[in-house]
Amino acid sequence: MGKVYERIDGRLREFVEAQPVFFVATAPLSGDGHVNLSPKGGADTFAVFDEHTVAYLDLGGSHAETIAHLRENGRITLMWCAFWGPPKIVRVHGRGEAVFRDDPRFGALLARFPRPDQPSVRAVVVVTAEQVSDSCGYKVPLMEPVGDRALHGEYFGRKSEEEFAAYCEAKDFNGQSIDGLPGLPLPLPPLPPLPVMPLTPLGGPGRSGLTSGRV
């Protein structure tokens, strides 16, 4: 039986962080607007910030429907399915915000992901959970992941920042949604520098060796 939870912690957090793919649903306010559903993959593009906040990286692509809907009304649902092991579906209903490159918060948010330097990051989508629930997932098929596709990173990794900005401007549905709502702000601002952590001993106080880097 499905349950509603007050927070994302314990087994729920472990479950969503372990899934190789999740789904994002948004919609415009207009009754005749287009509902959007997008798959998102790659463990390095998703993060649980705290018990009520999750986030993911919005990467380069031909559309910006989620961004446009969030800018208009903020409504969003994220869903994860178990494709192996015990059947389970988890949904997070909440309010989302697309934090863009020229936002003062962008660099610090980006730095909270495992690979903040990956190519084609357009925004960080931050979701505040309003309801967290699970259900059985008995009819979800059993599948085993082979691995992440390298094509996205390879394609956009060959582009300079200037070429990526030109790519975004050239796409019909980056600057606006298919319903004409404002989407990705263009021209695309340059990436800000990531915060650099101070040098700290490896393994904590009293250990030899130093490490520094972006968090």
Q: Rounded to an integer, what is the distance from CA 154 to the centroid of its chain?
A: 19
Pairwise CA distance, residues 51 & 28, whole Å: 27
Specify the pLDDT at position 198. 53
The residue ranges of the chain whose pLDDT is under 70 are: 1, 197-215
Domain that holds residue 210: 3-214
φ/ψ (deg, to 5) at 201: -65, 140
Q: What's the Cα-to-Cα distance from 63 to each of 58, 167, 169, 185, rounded to whole Å?
A: 11, 12, 11, 13
Report the number of distinct structural domains present in the chain. 1
Q: What's the Cα-to-Cα distance from 132 to each of 82, 85, 124, 136, rounded to whole Å?
A: 16, 21, 21, 14
Residue 129 DSSP class:
E
CATH number of the domain that residue 46 is part of: 2.30.110.10
Residue 28 DSSP class:
-
Q: Supply 178's token pair.
A: 């298919």
Query: Euclidean distance between the first and final Cα of the chain, in Å?
Result: 39
Instruction: Give me the amino acid identity at 204.
Output: G
Q: What is the pTM of this model?
A: 0.89
Q: Supply 176's token pair.
A: 């606006």
